[in-house]
Amino acid sequence: MTRDPRFDVLFEPIRIGPVTAKNRFYQVPHCNGMGSARANALVRLREIKAEGGWGVVCTEETSIEPDVDISPSVGLQLWDDGDLPLAAAIAAGIHRHGALAGVELMHYGPVAANRDSRGITMGPSCLPFPSRLDPIQPRAIDRADLRAIRESHRRAAKLAQRAGFDIIYVAAVHDATLPMHFLSRRHNDRSDEYGGPLENRVRLLRELIEDTKDAVGDRSAVAVRLAVDELLGPSGISCDGEGRDIVAMLAELPDLWDVNLSNWANDSQSSRFADEGFQEPYVRFVKSLTSKPVVGVGLFTSPDAMVSQIRRGVLDLIGAARPSIADPFLPRKIAEGRLDDIRECIGCNICVAAHRSSVSLRCTQNPTAGEEWRRDWHPEIIRRDSKGTVLIVGGGPTGLECALTLGRRGFDVTLAEASDEVGGRVTREARLPGLARWSRVRDYRLSQIRQQPNVAVYPSSTIDADYVLEAAPERVVIATGARWRRDGLGRSLRVAPPVSPGARILTPDDIFSGAIVTSPVVIYDDDHYYLGGVLAEKFRSEGHVTILVTPEAAPSAWTAWTLELGAIERRLKFLGIIIHRRHQLSSIADDSVRVTDLTTAREFALQAATTVLVTARVPRVELYATLDAIPEENRPFKSITRAGDCNAPGTIAAAVYAGHRVARELATAPYPALRERIRLER
Ligand code: ADP
Ligand code: SF4
């Protein structure tokens, strides 16, 4: 296949100071939970992006000195010569495929609690940082500190250049870097030439750009990553206020402007709250103030949307973090006219959650993310090494991914799904408010399966043990999912609450099947991820009086990891949903529920015509159990494996991963996972 000429503009080379990117696809800096702690994995992750066609591939945040330590979060370091081998390996891997290598140098300022290094935290002012609860205050930076910080940045820039990096960043982003803290009136109350009017507050950023240019000469480009809007209105940096003024003041100084929103939750909004191109209104002014190339992000997965950004003069380079994780080969697929093969990011932020919990990157759409080195999984290449027949029962994310991957390995695969639509929980949940893009998990896999003559999908096909014994496939994979509990057991309740016989109790499965809800509806959310909150949103928008009860301190509490918690709370509040935090379900009567305040132990009643229990799931394991109980000598099949939610209920990402792993390892010795080993210094 060949490239559609309307996308040619995306493949034009772009000059960035002294270097030239081969195209406009720019993988912006993004964290990944690997850093120097998982060095081999990191090198492979970045190399594969370059192989996938990105013109520029950047590192994650890279600290410039030991005392800007944000442990337990993991990142890269460029402190001294000892950091060169890893940095050089990353740059070399990127160069091997003709991409430019970028490095995001970072001083975290007052965000660095220095929990591990035990250094002194420093910031523009001696004010505790709002979003960090560590009981510390930064020392207000003095002149000697400033000289030392500038020297560290200069040294790190030189190291980066020696390691082979082509683009070296000064970062003022995410409300998490020192130059941004100096820019901000909220964090900077200094009275010297670095505080007060914006001309003063911008001084450190200007100096760091000049220092970096001076340090790297004319061999590497110097990029500035700037948050042009904090979505805080007049009290913060904004695109029609100081964000614009900062760009105007420094317009021609850097070789590239990488612009976005702050804080990270605003920058990496999930698809529940943001559409493709959502940052355009905030960043579009930048190009009118500078002749330098501008890169920006916004969940870009569609080449038409990318071309539109270029043609309309919004951006010069299409930045991507999440879309490059979901599909490291996105540029190549556009180049080769294989648009149907693009594995589009669904905007769920599971990748963000992995980094924030300091574990290797993972992705709902791309099960190989984070496993490129550890399990030697390539996102596009699977050895065609097998034959034989496999029956997969269940067409949810587990079954679909398993079928796709087994098909690629050469098996003759039959996938049977009981419902008239495949997709399992993805199909059901994507109908809920804000989750439509999750259907991409199903659609990508179905479109790939259709290209494989050796994989047949049969909807409306309920499989029982007799069928399996009669069909006698060589191998059986059970991916029958899980059902929601109806008895209230979950994280907080280990004994089922008393229920009166006339009570109307529904589970999420009932709602998916079209059960009617009557007002007032009480949701007891003991699951704590998105579903309780999304159902509340659905019921409220249908006009029901909606009450959400949660034993946690916040609704959908786990979404703190995916950076969605603030937006979810805001939405539930605006919709008028009544929330009882830190409350536990005690009993369910015909027209009410009793709940207990976990702080005071006080019990009281809430009116409830319908009670929806979002607590825990039970694996649908009956078919597996029946088949597995057959003595080995009587089985017509060689193996039976269960995977996904019917094995252990979890996230959609876990289901896709499970399906992929079973498929990679079926009828073969399991891949030994490689381990990162720390070398002892003495
Ligand atoms: P997972 O996340 O593990 O893929 P899902 O619940 O999303 O789990 O999907 C499981 C799918 O299996 C559902 O679509 C369900 O209809 C299907 N299923 C369950 N039991 C059977 C069966 N006996 N025969 C065919 N399909 C089944
Ligand atoms: Fe996109 Fe979700 Fe994958 Fe992150 S985890 S890259 S948001 S699909």
- CATH number for the domain spanning 497: value is 3.50.50.60
Q: Is 355 in the pocket of ligand 1 (CB under 6 A)?
A: no
By most ligand atoms within 8 Å of CB, the mutation choice from 620, 645, 660 for ligand 1 is 620
Tell me, what's the pLDDT at 130? 86
Instruction: Ligand 1, residue 464: give the atom nearest the CA.
Output: 23
Tell me, what's the pLDDT at 1? 79
Kindly state the tokens that stand for 287. Answer: 């190009």
Instruction: Ligand 1, residue 425: give the atom nearest the CA.
Output: 7
Q: Are residues 325 and 404 in the same domain?
A: no
Q: Is 480 in the pocket of ligand 1 (CB under 6 A)?
A: yes
Of the three residues 618, 636, 652, the one that is the final residue of a domain is 618
Ligand 1 centroid to Cα of residue 473, in Å, is: 19
d(CA 28, CA 322): 10
Written as one string, the DSSP assignment of 335-375 is HTT-GGG--------HHHHHHHTTS----SS-TTTT-TTTS
Q: Is 419 in the pocket of ligand 1 (CB under 6 A)?
A: yes
Ligand 1 centroid to Cα of residue 560, in Å, is: 29
Q: Are residues 298 and 258 in the same domain?
A: yes
Phi and psi, residue 573, nearest 5°: -65, -45
Q: Is 351 in the pocket of ligand 2 (CB under 6 A)?
A: yes
Instruction: Ligand 1, residue 399: give the atom nearest the CA.
Output: 4
Tell me, what's the pLDDT at 94? 98
d(CA 425, CA 432): 11
Kindly state the tokens that stand for 604. Answer: 């009281």
Which residue range(s) make up the domain with 512? 486-618
Tell me, what's the pLDDT at 679? 83
Of the three residues 618, 648, 676, the one that is the final residue of a domain is 618
Q: Is 647 in the pocket of ligand 1 (CB under 6 A)?
A: no
673 lies in some domain: no
670 lies in some domain: no
d(CA 14, CA 636): 60
Instruction: Ligand 2, residue 271: give the atom nearest the CA.
Output: 7
Q: Are residues 457 and 513 in the same domain?
A: no
520 lies in some domain: yes
Residue 451 neighbours by CB distance under 10 Å: 11
Q: Single out the residue of 650, 27, 577, 562 nearest to residue 274, CA to CA.
A: 562
Is the bond leading into 18 cis (omega within 30 degrees of zero)? no
3 state SS of 259: strand
pTM score over 0.95: yes
Are 261 and 267 in contact, with CB atoms under 8 Å apart?
yes
Instruction: Ligand 1, residue 419: give the atom nearest the CA.
Output: 16
Q: Is 347 in the pocket of ligand 2 (CB under 6 A)?
A: yes
Q: How far apart are the first and last CA of the chain?
A: 55
Identify the burial level of 369 via C-beta atoms within 10 angstroms of its C-beta, where 0-12 means exposed, 13-18 middle and 19 or more buried: buried
Ranges of the chain whose pLDDT falls below 50: none
Tell me, what's the pLDDT at 669? 81
3 state SS of 403: helix
Q: Is 325 in the pocket of ligand 2 (CB under 6 A)?
A: yes
Query: At how many degrees (to 10) do helices 565-575 and 530-541 cross?
Result: 20
Are 102 and 223 in contact, with CB atoms under 8 Å apart?
yes
Domain with residue 404: its CATH number is: 3.40.50.720
Instruction: Ligand 2, residue 322: give the atom nearest the CA.
Output: 6
Containing 398, the helix (H) or strand (E) segment is helix 397-409
680 lies in some domain: no
Kindly state the tokens that stand for 270. Answer: 């999930």
Written as one string, the DSSP assignment of 49-99 is HHHTT-SEEEEEEEESSTTS--TTS--EE-SSGGGHHHHHHHHHHHHTTT-
Q: Are residues 204 and 258 in the same domain?
A: yes
364 lies in some domain: no
Q: Atom 3, ligand 2: which residue's CA is nearest?
A: 363
Query: How many C-alpha atoms does 246 have within 13 Å on its Cβ side?
Result: 32
Instruction: Ligand 1, residue 428: give the atom nearest the CA.
Output: 7
Ligand 1 centroid to Cα of residue 479, in Å, is: 6
411 lies in some domain: yes
The set of residues, in sequence order, having a beta carbon less than 8 Å from that of 652 and lying 6+ positions away, is 348, 364, 397, 425, 426, 438, 441
Ligand 1 centroid to Cα of residue 424, in Å, is: 6
Of the three residues 311, 338, 356, the one that is the final residue of a domain is 356
Containing 20, the helix (H) or strand (E) segment is strand 19-21
By most ligand atoms within 8 Å of CB, the mutation choice from 417, 438, 477, 623 for ligand 1 is 417
3 state SS of 194: coil
Q: Is 479 in the pocket of ligand 1 (CB under 6 A)?
A: yes
Ligand 1 centroid to Cα of residue 531, in Å, is: 19
Ligand 1 centroid to Cα of residue 532, in Å, is: 21
Q: Atom 2, ligand 2: which residue's CA is nearest?
A: 348
186 lies in some domain: yes
Q: Are residues 156 and 15 in the same domain?
A: yes
Spatial strand order of the sheet with 603-607 comes to 583-588, 592-597, 603-607
Tell me, what's the pLDDT at 515? 97
Q: Are residues 498 and 643 in the same domain?
A: no
Which ligand has the minimum distance to the alpha carbon of residue 650?
1
382 lies in some domain: no
Q: Atom 6, ligand 1: which residue's CA is nearest?
A: 481
Q: Are residues 62 and 181 in the same domain?
A: yes
Q: Are residues 439 and 449 in the same domain?
A: yes
Instruction: Ligand 1, residue 398: give the atom nearest the CA.
Output: 4
Q: Is 345 in the pocket of ligand 2 (CB under 6 A)?
A: yes
Q: Are residues 163 and 215 in the same domain?
A: yes
Are 66 and 120 in contact, with CB atoms under 8 Å apart?
no
Tell me, what's the pLDDT at 428? 98
Q: Is 462 in the pocket of ligand 1 (CB under 6 A)?
A: yes
The set of residues, in sequence order, having a beta carbon less than 8 Å from that of 574 and lying 6+ positions away, is none
Q: Are residues 11 and 149 in the same domain?
A: yes
Kindly provide the residue ranges of all beta strands, DSSP E only, lying in 100-218, ordered along the sequence.
Answer: 100-106, 122-123, 139-140, 167-172
Query: How many C-alpha atoms does 650 have within 13 Å on its Cβ side?
Result: 16
The set of residues, in sequence order, having a beta carbon less than 8 Å from that of 501 and lying 6+ positions away, is none
Strands 56-63 and 25-27, sheet pairing = parallel
Ligand 2 centroid to Cα of residue 327, in Å, is: 9
Query: At how many degrees (to 10) do helices 242-250 and 203-216 cross?
Result: 30
Kindly state the tokens that stand for 282. Answer: 């905030």
Ligand 1 centroid to Cα of residue 68, in Å, is: 48
Q: Are residues 608 and 631 in the same domain?
A: no
Q: Are residues 400 and 304 in the same domain?
A: no
d(CA 317, CA 409): 37
Residue 99 CA from chain centroid, whole number = 24
Q: Is 396 in the pocket of ligand 1 (CB under 6 A)?
A: yes
Domain count, the chain: 3
Domain with residue 175: its CATH number is: 3.20.20.70
CA dihedral 622, 624, 629, 635 (to 10 degrees): 140
Ligand 1 centroid to Cα of residue 561, in Å, is: 28
